[in-house]
Chain A
Amino acid sequence: MATNDVVVETRKLTKVYRDFWGRQKKVALRALNLQINRGEIFGLLGPNGSGKTTTIKLLLGLLFPTEGDALVFGQPSAEVKKNERIGYLPEESYLYRFLNAEETLDFYGRLFKLDANVRRQRAQSLIDIVGLSADKKRVLKEYSKGMRQRIGLAQALINDPELVILDEPTSGLDPLGTRWMKDLIVELREKGKTIIMCSHRLEDVQDICDRVAILYEGELQELNSVKVLLEDVDKLELQASGVQINEDLRRDLDEVIRRHGGKIERVGHPTTSLETLFLRIVAQSKAHPGRRYLPSVDGNKPGDEARPGSASAKIEEHVKRA
């Protein structure tokens, strides 16, 4: 790969937290080597305290490396000029509590060399994108966690950055918000942006990341594309519709599989994830406003419709696409 397609590179990046007297408190990151390419969604994965946030802060120059280098766009991370091309959503976005959404975006816009018109237009369109149009005049201290995350994302995108760094973008969001966030991230990639995100929620990463690095105790454990990491080449999966499960079917399938030297482990209905279920319910209640769940008065249970069926297929498909 050509070097100018490498957006981020770390070489033996190490971070040791020390106290005031220079005594070692914690080795948060140990000799991390990474190369992140233009146009990919790169996931940093790992349990709490594994060094994800530390890595991101090192890339941004919020921390200085104890050893090794962190290069962004080929420049050392302490260089301020590179920030023109970067957007950053912190893990917990505490913005200025006394500003409203519009003023917040205006303020951050002023930190870039942006024309006043461009700044205003971009702020408006970002407010629309993150869905805060109705609340744009309210000050941030009245915002809920989810709304803060949204305005945090908006401020990260105010400069139309080439590289977007997101620290736990889905934390604190409801499943709907999570979905929205993931869609947005994918959309960003389609616009040619590079995204680095970190999360401890595996399913988020699984859905959208092209490549992931798995950290544990500050050390890199795995680094590869999601597909390669998750594909279980020893097993086969098959989905079919329009047939009922019965002994005949099972026998026939068994025969075919045996002929090819395999063995059936399980035949049954696929279960969906709770996330999918939730999304479907929300979609349905939007389509038919006023319906609600009335337990056991008559047979009309909305819960029935929540089972996999043709109505949910679309959503499933949508999820798969992501």
Chain B
Amino acid sequence: MVFATTFVLEQEPLQWWELPAAIKGWVQIAGAVAAFALAIFCLAYAIRRPAYASKTWSRQTRGVALLIALCGASYVLALLAVIGRGMGIGSAARNPGLLQAQPPPPEPVGTFSGLVDILLFVAGLFAILAVTLPLLVDLCTRIRFGRVLAIARLSVKEAVRSRVVWVFASMAIIFLFADWFVPYKPEDQVRNYVRVIYWSLAPLFLLTASLLGAFSIPADVKSQSIHTIVTKPVERFEIVLGRFCGYAALLTVGIGFLTAISLLYVARGVTPQAAKESFTARVPIYGDVLSFSGTGRTDKGESVGREWDYRSYISGPRVNMPQAPRQYAIWSFASLPVGFSETRLPYFEFTFDIFRLTKGQENRGVITNFSFVDGRYQQVPQFQAARDKMRDERARAQDALAKAADAKSKQGSSTAAIQTWRSEQQDALEDSLIDKFGIYEVTAEVLDYHTQVVGGDDKDKVGRKLARLLNMLQDPAQVKSRTREDGATSFLLNVMVSVDRQSAEQMLGVAKRDLYLLAAERPFWLNFIKGVMGMWFATLLMLGLAVALSTYLSGVIAWLCALFLFGMGLFSDSIRQIAEGTSYGGGVVESTVRILGKLPGGARLENSPAASVITGSDEVFRFFLRLFARIIPDVGRFDLHAYVANGYDISWMQVLFLDNFVVLLGYLLPWAVLAYYLMKYREVANPM
């Protein structure tokens, strides 16, 4: 189900520690494409030198030639290294696989896996430099902001006067009538409004951006008005930049305006239930690893046969399998904030899915145990032993307490006084157990798809205990005790979730983001704006794509291509999966064979020549698919409305800047370079 009712991120946003690896990959791929283009250019130049090429080599030309030579040399070296390795000379260092249940890998994943890797990176870098050098030189020496601005202003004026901006008014229809078509439960009110607005605004702006971008330069070429511009001292790329900036400004104003109105629309008359559910922006601190115990695999729980495998499941005790090990979902935190206090209590929140193996308890939730456990217990049996010891100790202490209470009542103390004394003693006991064992246990009733806080109505009481535990765990002496012999530290805290014995035959569906420490709550409106910024990035991507394509293609074709690329971007996950060969049921050819032959997706194809032809053609297909997967934008990451709709804060740096903005730049830059060349070496008076 796509419209899950809870916060779901199918794709983890890019992490900072992944950035070096991402940059490396980007340089290698973009560099290879650039090198390919350079190779074709050099070949064409050698065969037939264009008459307008200047006869003398400028400094810039010499620089480019040098870079091309260096790039070629690096590729040759890489090839030699590959051949050398094939013959056994020198062996590439292998990344050791990371072991599960160890601290997370902020180790330098981006570093190189061997000589070939480095050489490919270096060659790519040279190719990119060779290709961008003329552009950079132009940017520094020739391109004037004033002219870009003039063209941008022209674009805005043109668009405004041709009444393009009226499309923004069409949003009014949605505001007027959305209520008729959006049924909601009170707690889903904000969620649904945000969705409706997002799904109306996004297509509106994407379509406007694609139309503006794709048709502007071709229209100028067709009407020949571009002749009066390029015969002024205008660099060709200034036209591309000017068009892009002008329309970007226009769209920005439009988005800003509609965002303000939408915000008013959403914020009027929020029901109390919805306000509690999602009219906020929670700042969660997620566990670093979600692992499982007792399910057979550490990285996965049980599958309940749902097609959508975002969540995996742990089951409670089975009546017919009394010997089966207890199943745990374990969220491991490597670090947590320090200094919890009465005014700053740690609240853990969670949202789980329920899957029932037996009927009959429909209206009740699943009774679930939450154990907050010191990370030094590195194995489940270790933890269980400590826990049992703790329970014994508690039982004994409580016995003693009961006896002492009896004695007190015999001495004639009032019942109320005894009650108070006893609960104080009980409290002190819990504290001492936490201090001694580093374990704190809570039981809660989990309701289907609801964001709940551990402790429920008693969340402050639970929070106080958790504060004690977390503060203790972060004590420097404690941290030292978690340092292992190999120098690495184990996790700070494990949160172990299991289904209680009372809820046998029930299953809980969990994902990494389903449990978190609530670090702060921020205002909804700011989060709404951040969510729209993701859409704004997507709009800029569409605009840039359309403008870049329109430097060479005619308006309609450029528009269709931009829509096609962007549309494929919606499926970029699947395309990448097929390209990497990780999709279930094999590649396209294999799946077709499977469908025609009615073979199940998991069954192995027989070893036969036919089978190798099938998988072989999938290899070839995948190669082209991989190339293709690189030029389609990954647009899913700009869709941030799930955060807003469910009330989760969008982080400025990690989501907006790194995962959206940096990725947008990485995608648009090669297109900008392409547009630079297409525009510069185009005979504007001779449209193809």
B382-400 to A contact mask, C-beta < 8 Å, 1/0: 0000000000000000000
Measured between beta carbons, the chain A residues less than 8 angstroms from B683 are: 62-64
At the interface, yes or no: B227 with Cβ under 8 Å from chain A?
Answer: yes
Which residues of B216-230 are within 8 A (CB) of A? 223-225, 227-230
Which residues of B642-688 are within 8 A (CB) of A? 683-686, 688
**A64–B51 touching, CB < 8 Å:** yes
Measured between beta carbons, the chain B residues less than 8 angstroms from A206 are: none
Contacts known (A107-B150, A112-B233); A65 close to B228, Cβ less than 8 A: no
Contacts known (A17-B686, A78-B52); A111 close to B232, Cβ less than 8 A: yes
Identify the stretch in A85-93, A196-204, A242-250, A284-292 within 8 Å (CB) of chain B at 4 or more residues: A85-93
Contacts known (A81-B233, A86-B231, A111-B232); A62 close to B54, Cβ less than 8 A: no
At the interface, yes or no: B234 with Cβ under 8 Å from chain A?
Answer: yes
Measured between beta carbons, the chain A residues less than 8 angstroms from B50 are: 64
At the interface, yes or no: A301 with Cβ under 8 Å from chain B?
Answer: no
Complex formed: what's the CA distance from A69 to B225 in Å? 26
**A90–B227 touching, CB < 8 Å:** yes
**A95–B225 touching, CB < 8 Å:** yes
At the interface, yes or no: A99 with Cβ under 8 Å from chain B?
Answer: yes
Which residues of A47-84 are within 8 A (CB) of B? 57, 60-69, 76-78, 80-81, 83-84
Complex formed: what's the CA distance from A76 to B50 in Å? 13
Question: Could you say which of B51, B142, B162, B227 contacts A80, with CB atoms under 8 Å apart?
Answer: B142
At the interface, yes or no: B618 with Cβ under 8 Å from chain A?
Answer: no
Measured between beta carbons, the chain A residues less than 8 angstroms from B223 are: 94
At the interface, yes or no: A10 with Cβ under 8 Å from chain B?
Answer: no
Complex formed: what's the CA distance from A155 to B161 in Å? 21
**A83–B232 touching, CB < 8 Å:** yes
Question: Number of A residues contacting the other chain (C-beta, 8 Å)?
Answer: 41
**A95–B228 touching, CB < 8 Å:** yes
**A111–B157 touching, CB < 8 Å:** no
Contacts known (A80-B235, A88-B231); A98 close to B157, Cβ less than 8 A: yes
Measured between beta carbons, the chain A residues less than 8 angstroms from B225 are: 94-96
Question: Could you say which of A69, A80, A94, A98 contacts B224, with CB atoms under 8 Å apart?
Answer: A94
Complex formed: what's the CA distance from A80 to B141 in Å? 13
Q: Which residue, B147, B223, B232, has most C-beta atoms of chain A within 10 A? A: B232
Complex formed: what's the CA distance from A103 to B158 in Å? 12
Complex formed: what's the CA distance from A83 to B223 in Å? 21
Kindly count the residue-residue contacts between A and B in the assembled complex, taking CB atoms under 8 Å apart.
86
At the interface, yes or no: A20 with Cβ under 8 Å from chain B?
Answer: yes
**A83–B686 touching, CB < 8 Å:** no
Measured between beta carbons, the chain A residues less than 8 angstroms from B224 are: 90, 92, 94
Measured between beta carbons, the chain B residues less than 8 angstroms from A139 are: 161
Measured between beta carbons, the chain B residues less than 8 angstroms from A65 are: 51-52
At the interface, yes or no: B270 with Cβ under 8 Å from chain A?
Answer: no
**A112–B232 touching, CB < 8 Å:** yes
Measured between beta carbons, the chain A residues less than 8 angstroms from B153 are: 107
Measured between beta carbons, the chain B residues less than 8 angstroms from A93 are: 228
At the interface, yes or no: B154 with Cβ under 8 Å from chain A?
Answer: yes
B36-70 to A contact mask, C-beta < 8 Å, 1/0: 00000000000000111010000000000000000
Which residues of B103-148 are within 8 A (CB) of A? 142, 146-147
Min Cβ gap A32→B in Å is 13
Q: Which residue, A65, A66, A110, has most C-beta atoms of chain B within 10 A? A: A110
Complex formed: what's the CA distance from A64 to B51 in Å? 8
**B157–A88 touching, CB < 8 Å:** no
**B54–A76 touching, CB < 8 Å:** yes
Q: Which residue, B142, B157, B231, B235, has most C-beta atoms of chain A within 10 A? A: B231
Measured between beta carbons, the chain B residues less than 8 angstroms from A68 are: 51
Measured between beta carbons, the chain A residues less than 8 angstroms from B146 are: 110
Measured between beta carbons, the chain B residues less than 8 angstroms from A19 are: 688
Complex formed: what's the CA distance from A99 to B684 in Å? 22
Which residues of A124-169 are within 8 A (CB) of B? 139, 152, 155, 159
Complex formed: what's the CA distance from A60 to B232 in Å? 10
**A67–B51 touching, CB < 8 Å:** yes
**A63–B51 touching, CB < 8 Å:** no
Question: Could you say which of A78, A81, A103, A111 contacts B147, with CB atoms under 8 Å apart?
Answer: A111
A7-28 to B contact mask, C-beta < 8 Å, 1/0: 0000000000101100000000
**B684–A62 touching, CB < 8 Å:** yes
**B157–A103 touching, CB < 8 Å:** yes
Measured between beta carbons, the chain B residues less than 8 angstroms from A98 are: 157-158, 161-162
**B51–A66 touching, CB < 8 Å:** yes
Measured between beta carbons, the chain B residues less than 8 angstroms from A62 are: 227, 230-231, 683-685
**B150–A110 touching, CB < 8 Å:** yes
The 28 sampled A-B contact pairs (Cβ below 8 Å) are A62-B227, A62-B231, A64-B52, A64-B683, A67-B51, A76-B52, A76-B54, A80-B142, A80-B233, A80-B235, A83-B233, A83-B234, A88-B231, A90-B224, A90-B227, A92-B224, A94-B223, A96-B154, A96-B158, A96-B225, A98-B158, A98-B161, A99-B154, A103-B157, A107-B153, A111-B150, A152-B228, A155-B228
Residues on B facing A (Cβ under 8 Å): 50-52, 54, 142, 146-147, 149-150, 153-154, 157-158, 161-162, 223-225, 227-235, 683-686, 688
19 new A-B contacts at CB < 8 Å, known A76-B52, A96-B225 = A60-B231, A61-B231, A62-B227, A62-B684, A66-B51, A80-B235, A81-B233, A88-B228, A90-B227, A94-B224, A95-B225, A95-B228, A98-B157, A110-B146, A111-B150, A111-B233, A112-B232, A112-B233, A159-B232
